[in-house]
Structure 1
Amino acid sequence: MFRRIGEIVVRHPVWTIVAWVIAAVAIVATAPTLPSTSDESSFLPSSYESIQAAKLQEDAFPSAFTPSAIALYQRTDGAKLTKADLKDVDRITRELGGKHIDQVQKVVPGQPSTDGKFTTTLVQMDSKNAGQPKQADAAKVLRTDVKQLTKGTDLEARLGGSAAQALDQQDSSKRGQALIGIGTFLIILVTLLIIFRAPILAVLPLLVIGLVSTLANGLIAYATKLFDLQANSSISSILIVVLFGVGTDYFLFLMFRYRERLRAGDESKEAMINAVGRVGEAIASAAGAVVIAFLALSLSTLGFLKQMGPALAIAVAATLFAGLTLIPAVVSLIGPKVFWPSKSWQREPENARFAALGRGVRNRPALTVIVSGLVLVVLSLGTFGYKATFDLASGSMPKTKESMVVQDSMMHAYSAGAAAPTDVYLSSTDNSPLDKAGFTAYADKLAAVDGVDGAKLSQVSKDGTTADFTVTLKYEASTDKAITTVGDVRDVAHSDAPDGSKAVVGGMSSIYKDINAAVNHDYRTVFPVAALLIMVILGLLLRSVVAPLYLMASVGLGFGATLGATVWIFQDGAGHSGLMFMLPVIMYLFVVAIGTDYNILMIARLREEAREGRSPREAAGEALRHAGPTVAAAGFILAATFATMMLAGNALLTEMGFAVSFGIAVAAFVMAMFFTPSLTALIGHAAWWPGHGDRAAEAAPAGHPETLTPARRAEETDREDRDDREPVVDEQAEPRAR
């Protein structure tokens, strides 16, 4: 099948390229705008208590005041506010309300801090558009206006709150995307120049993947709108890395095999057809594992991950299709000139490093398994210290952003939980008015919960069937202590609700607690489903039941090592209170899916060597000798590409960039090169049970000319002549078409 694909695109390269360009233009021109939200509550389904509380608030208190933006004032000299300062704040508040800014429904004065150095203006916006870009635009106008209105006074003002955080997150995301894009471009360009010493080959994948990127983004926008999914600005940054990183990997696999066929004497177009035919199954299987893993995110209960999964799956599928059609078409038009001005493509370079590594694996597989496995186990110990943090806003931007400065200032000037209080909604079960006589006692019970700074009745609905109790915690909303406390508040609110009533608890801490529960659900659902589906792909590719089991076990060990290293570096080393809550899920999928790619390439090459009559140990050594350079080059580029996410300057992408790049490095340089081939050598023929995937196709002796193609016979003869010399990128780890 893959050879047939190669024949079609190579025989009709111009039409293939034209079809891609037309499809990209049509999709980009008609695709809807990709929606985005920074509202954490939108990531949860309606079955969670925090979402039920938000719905109850909307129904019972449609005009309830919940600030979306907070203007925080203090004197420029840091002294206590004077009466004149407070008058200026009142004036500014009135004038802001009189501007009738879009989305702004109400502007009211807030309470001064207990030390008298701070006071606030509270701004309510349309709750139906919470987290949407239009409220970020409103925050931008508010920020400009409030600074303008403080001119000529002794005050300085900063704008915080959820709308301002969305604005700062948006700006930070644009800057991060630019840095990631530039870093990715330079890493791929420089690395490909070093590998091929050919400017055309260095630039070509960037141009091709750029075209694929525009098409993929259009398809993602269609899917997001069609399935009513949520989007987050961080997804765009991840997409850049996935498209260019994975796309470059597939480009390398194809070009190495194309160069191999040219060296074997194939005519240019025939070389590309053979390359697609031989490498196609491995690339398709590797991409299939990634797509399946990403689609498993659709089972997540979090809207952010539910959207990310299909988006990344679409991106990888588009990259796969380009790798099997667009890249072969373009390269077949250019021919061997694609390697200009280098002449190295005409001969196999000499190097003994991977030959030596291959001999080490062949001669001491048990020692190699023990040493590499011990490294993974030791790193995995760090997972026991893992803690999660749930503040997606502060994790998505630097602490120096204005909204983050406001949040930190309010935590010190007011009660830490004052910026995001918890609401307990008590509602009648039979639609009759609540008995107000028990409200004071109920509020006292809520206030008595350990970790609560205070509780009071805020309002009662017009029909008297719902009461809102505001509970202020002693801790900032996203901290572990706040999440634990809100769980205790829920217990008291539920158990002590007066007869004939029921309670639901809302607010940001309640949302974070539900997100924590949702993530734990995803651990139990997404992880095993992704692993099972990837094992099915491995089983179909390798025609084995045993090999997929230990391959997935090794990748799981790599995941543990990656998470452990990330915990040690960011929690223990950098002093982070915890890692972003979705990091383990994302890391698992990237490390498992992409890590499996390199295992696929190595184990497929090992099988190929075994089919030529070599013993399991000899096959493992030869697989590392010839596939090692390919895995090393691809692993380095992909790891370095993901590492560019650390340039974004926020905790979420910094942690994610390190974790995924480290995981890929472990997958390529520990698992695929040492652990997997050594373990396969030890298991021997049983690794391919119940099939015989490692047995020679013919009964002739190993390496006998009757079992080989003419090109392969020439390669074997050359190999015998240079037994002690090592080709750097002689061949790839993909299975050959039979």
Structure 2
Amino acid sequence: MIGLWLVVLALALPFSGKLGDSTRDQPTDYLPASADSTRVHKLLDQLPGGNTTDLLLVHHRDGGLTAADRETAQRQARAITGEYESTGGKAVPRSVPAKDGKTLLTAFSLTGMEEEARDKAVGDIRESLADPPSGLQVELGGPGALEADSSAIFDSADSTLMLGTATVVAILLILTYRSPVLWLVPLTVVGFAALSSMALVYGLVQAFDLTVTTMNTSVMTVLIFGAGTDYALLLVSRYREELRRHERPFDAMSAALRGCGPAVLASSATVAAGLLCLLAADLNSVSGLGPVGAIGVLCALVAMGTLLPALLVLLGRRVFWPLIPAYGSQLVARRSLFTFMGTSAGRRPVAVLAGGAALLGALALGSVALPGDLRPQDTFTDKPESVSAMETVQTSFPERSRQPVTVLARTGEAARVESTAKSGDGVARVERGRSGGGWTEFAVFAEGGPGSEREKDTIHDLRGELGSLEGAGALVGGPSAEQIDLEEANADDRAVVIPLVLAAVLIILIALLRSLVAPLILAAAVVASWGAAMGLGGLVFGPVLGFEGLDPGVPLLSFVFLVALGVDYGIFLMHRMREESLRGAPVAEAALTALRTTGGVIASAGIVLAATFCVLATMPMVMMAELGFVIAVGVLLDTFLVRTYLVTSASQLLRRWMWWPGRLFREEGAAKARQGE
């Protein structure tokens, strides 16, 4: 088995490194192909010079611009024009001074550049603008610069995230196992799984032109380390237990796999099924995450079910040094935290259940404080130069927007479209652009600032008025229109995907637990955890972390991950509870035994999973930070409140009805009837 995995690694290594070069992170790569803004982006390539990169050169001095500052601005603008005319681009300086005399704005465009060339051009221009005169602030902004800054952050995301996640997992495994060697084994296996999954995803991209974003690969990395380590913790814990009963490590591992294998298999199937439900989403970034995440989870399952057992058996008992489990020894029974928690839940199940439900409900009320939708300029936790430049422009030019709304229309109807757009509500001015391929481009400047509600209203009005012009084929795009399409697509996807995820999870739980009641309780519990985590986000994102908005994708993605991953721990607990019930223990006793025996490993797994998702919060993107926070908090709530107290209390109250209408429900009912006779 180890030899086979070494062959897999040798085959995967050359391809896993290529995945980063295959990710696509343009705004339109996230959007549905049918969205107006996506169609605009593609049609712009057909116009003379291809797609356009709009840039803003901003010169600002707090005390007011001097004549020398204006001369510097003109010289730099002319230099940029001369540099990029030779590439087939077009750069025409148009300087506009602010009323207060502190800011000078020069707008220009570069055409005919692909993403890599655009990013290089932005970097070269910024380098040429370095070392301005003392007191003069020179920044390059605009949509093109914002996209270049995003690309720079995405380029370093994968390696940084992989290193950070591996470090966190290593530290937690050392603390959990208290062994100088054992922690290396699951961490190595997780690394094998990660490299294999990256190679497989790269193959999917090449074979099926799958849209994979950096967000997808980042989440996949965290998921592999988190879920894979969870499976390892459960298997190693059961293996250590079986080593006390079996002399040969091989026999102990066989027993461990028989004991916890079904729970791990069902757990991974639940996560994979939940993620595959994302294929029903309209957003490319969300639908692409489905197969990417499922591949990561399944690779983690296969590695932990084959390579990890092989390595542990090969290394024998000594891998646990210095706490080696001796054959025939008995584990010293100690009153653990989970024994205390289970006992307290058993004594007052009604009070515990009501109090826990009230706490979760109170936390969920914080959702009303969640900030509004995130604007493109607020997507970074650390302001890049493009965002700083945009803020300077908004302060100095409050009366006008320098970010155009792009309108495309059939050339034969261009005059009618231009006239209608100029008369639109909230439109400041309209400039006719290029024509070619039967299409004409217009730059429409709204009176509202970029991302403002007023600008959004203008875009909606333009789409309504221009769309009613028969034969014009008018389409409205640009950065702000892309954000609107993103928000609307996310809302539609939530309505489709959330019911699918719940249905898939319930079907798997019903098949595993042979019950209808227990799966419904587990599903309701994880939904409550998600609601409470979102509520805590509302109390933290704006007031504490200073985030200006909530990424529209966070509610859906956090729901999918929390439901799928949260049910994992329910499966671990309920599977052991069912195992104890099959041995003849009453439901109340089985629940306490399951909590006592699995509580520690579930807690360790929950802490590891929460910590790995916390690594996302270190990324310089608000969306990653928000997603990592909600999932980490939800996992901790689920681990230490929902699983330990609420599910155990519900089991104490429902007793045999937890297994209705399955075999355990019928058998315990028959046993009670015999006792009564």
Q: Paired residue for 1:119?
A: 105
2:227 equivalent to 1:246: yes
Residue of structure 1 equivalent to 2:322: 341
1:391 Cα offset (Å): 3.6
Tell me, yes or no, if the aligned pair for 1:610 and 1:695 is still in contact at 8 Å.
no
Counterpart of 1:474?
448
Q: 1:85 to 1:284 in 2, by over 3 A?
A: same
Q: What residue is the counterpart of 2:57 in the other structure?
A: 71
Q: Which residue of 1 aligns with 2:570?
A: 599
The within-5 A match list for 1:335-414 is: 335-343=316-324, 347-352=330-335, 353-391=337-375, 394-395=378-379, 397-414=380-397
Moved more, 186-195 or 658-667: 186-195
Aligned partner of 1:490 among 463, 474, 495: 463
CA contact (8 A) 2:529 2:634 kept: yes
State the distance in 1 between where 2:374 and 2:608 align. Answer: 31
Instruction: Give the share of equivalent positions with the same residue, in percent.
Output: 27
Within 5 Å, which residues of 2 pair with 1:498-517?
501=472, 503-517=474-488
Tell me the CA shift for residue 104 of structure 1.
Answer: 7.0
1:181, 1:460 → 2: CA distance? 44
C-alpha distance in 1 between matches for 2:557 and 2:372: 14
Match of residue 270 from structure 1 = 251
Distance in 2, matches of 1:101 and 1:602, equals: 67
Residue aligning to 1:618: 589
Alignment deviations for residues 324-370 of structure 1 (CA, whole Å, 9 cap, x no partner)? 00000111100101101224675524431322222222232222221
- Corresponding residue SS for 1:112: strand
- In structure 2, do the counterparts of structure 1 residues 104 and 380 end up closer, same or farther at CA, with 3 Å as the change threshold? farther
Aligned partner of 1:710 in structure 2 is none
Post-superposition CA distance 1:478-515 (Å, at most 9, x none): x45533442233334445x4x76454322222211111
Please state whether the residue corresponding to 1:107 is helix, strand or coil: coil
Task: Tell me how far 1:85 sits from its aligned partner.
Answer: 3.6
Whole-Å separation in 2 of the counterparts to 1:92 and 1:173: 29
Residue 90 (structure 1) shift: 3.3
SS of the residue corresponding to residue 571 of structure 1 reads coil
Q: Secondary structure at the match of 2:618?
A: helix
Shift of 1:212: 1.8
Structure 2 equivalent of residue 533 of structure 1: 504
Q: Which stretch shows the higher mean deviation, 483-492 or 367-376? A: 483-492
Please give the alpha-carbon distance, in whole angstroms, between the structure 2 residues aligned to 1:328 and 1:101: 63
What is the aligned counterpart of 1:282 among 263, 270, 273? 263
Which residue of 2 is the match for residue 654 of structure 1? 625
Instruction: Choose which of 192, 195, 203 in structure 1 pairs with 2:173.
Output: 192
Q: From the superposition, tell whether residues 416 and 389 of structure 1 become closer, same or farther in structure 2 (CA, over 3 Å).
A: farther
Q: Does 1:315 align with 2:315?
A: no
Aligned equivalent of 1:716: none
Q: Give the AA of the match of 1:482.
A: E
Cα RMSD of the aligned pairs, angstroms, is: 3.0
Question: Distance between the aligned counterparts of 2:436 and 2:320, measured in 1?
Answer: 77
* Distance (whole Å) between structure 2 residues aligned to residue 212 and residue 274 of structure 1: 24
> Per-residue displacement from partner, 1:524-570 (whole Å, max 9, x unpaired)?
11111111111111111112233222221221121111111111211
Contact 2:84 2:91 in 1 (8 A): no
Q: Provide the residue aligned with 2:518 in structure 1.
A: 547
SS in 1 for 2:541: helix
Residues 1:22 and 2:7 are matched in the alignment: yes
Q: Distance in 2 between matches of 1:332 and 1:467?
A: 67
> 1:443: Cα distance to partner?
4.1
- Deviation readout 1:199-225 (Å, 9 max, x if unpaired): 111222222211221111111111123
8 Å CA contact 1:71, 1:160 repeated in 2: yes
1:155–1:609 distance in 2 versus 1, CA, 3 Å = same
The correspondence for 1:44, drawn from 28, 31, 35, is 31
Moved more, 647-656 or 246-255: 647-656
Q: Deviations over 1:244-267 (max 9, x none)?
A: 111111110000000000122442
Deviations 1:403-450 (A, max 9, x none): 22122222222358734221344547xxx55556x955x34431xx2x
Instruction: Specify which of 639, 642, 656 is matched with residue 685 of structure 1.
Output: 656
TM-score, length-normalised on structure 1? Answer: 0.83
How many residues align structurally? Answer: 664
SS in 1 for 2:238: helix
Counterpart in the other structure of 1:108: 92
Contact 2:428–2:447 (8 Å) recurs in 1: yes
Query: How far, CA to CA, are the matches of 2:359 and 2:613 in structure 1?
Result: 22
CA drift of 1:387 comes to 4.4
Distance 1:125 1:468, change over 3 A: closer
SS at match of 2:98: coil
Question: Which secondary structure does the structure 1 equivalent of 2:584 belong to?
Answer: coil
The 8 Å contact of residues 638 and 661 in structure 1, kept in 2 or not, is answered as: yes
Q: Which moved more, 1:221-230 or 1:519-528?
A: 221-230
| 1:317, distance to aligned residue in structure 2 (A) | 0.6
Return 324-333 or 195-204, whichever deviates more: 195-204
Q: Which residue does the alignment assign to 2:188?
A: 207
Q: For the residues of structure 2 that align with 1:274 and 1:482, how far apart are their CA atoms?
A: 64
Whether the 8 Å CA contact 2:192–2:303 is kept in 1: the answer is: no
Contact 1:112 1:118 in 2 (8 A): yes
Task: Give secondary structure in 1 for the equivalent of 2:316.
Answer: helix
The 1-side partners of 2:204 and 2:415 are apart by 49
Contact 1:101 1:138 in 2 (8 A): no
Query: Any conservation in 1 of the 2:456–2:480 contact (CA below 8 Å)?
Result: yes
Change (3 A) 1:463 1:692: closer
- After TM superposition, list the pairs within 5 Å mapping 1:226-241 onto structure 2: 226-241=207-222
TM-score of the superposition, structure 2-length normalised?
A: 0.90
The equivalent position to 1:455 in structure 2, one of 402, 414, 429, is 429
Q: Deviations over 1:456-480 (max 9, x none)?
A: 2424747997573613241223x45
Give the conservation status (yes or no) of the 8 Å contact 2:466–2:474: yes
Amino acid of the structure 2 residue aligned with 1:368: V
Task: Please point out which of 74, 81, 88 is paired with 1:90.
Answer: 74
Cα distance in 2 between the residues matched to 1:122 and 1:435: 25
SS in 2 for 1:418: coil
Q: Which residue of 2 aligns with 1:297?
A: 278
**Structure 1: runs of 5 or more not aligned:** 1-15, 702-738
Question: Whole-Å Cα distance in 2 between the matches of residues 557 and 424 of structure 1?
Answer: 44
Cα pair 2:510 2:516 within 8 Å, conserved: yes
Following superposition, the deviation at residue 101 of structure 1 comes to 9.0
> For residues 533 and 623 of structure 1, what CA distance do their matches in structure 2 show?
25
1:445 maps to 423
- Name the counterpart of 2:675: none
Shift of 1:633: 1.1
Q: Is 1:325–2:306 an aligned residue pair? A: yes
Change (3 A) 1:332 1:92: same
Deviation digits for residues 288-315 of structure 1, max 9, x if unmatched? 1111111111221111112222111111
1:502–1:312 CA distance, 2 compared to 1 (3 A): closer
- For residue 63 of structure 1, report the CA deviation from its aligned partner: 4.5
Q: Counterpart in 1 of 2:647?
A: 676
Instruction: Give me the whole-angstrom Cα distance separating, in 2, the residues matched to 1:675 and 1:245.
Output: 24
Residues 389, 480 of structure 1: 8 Å contact kept: no
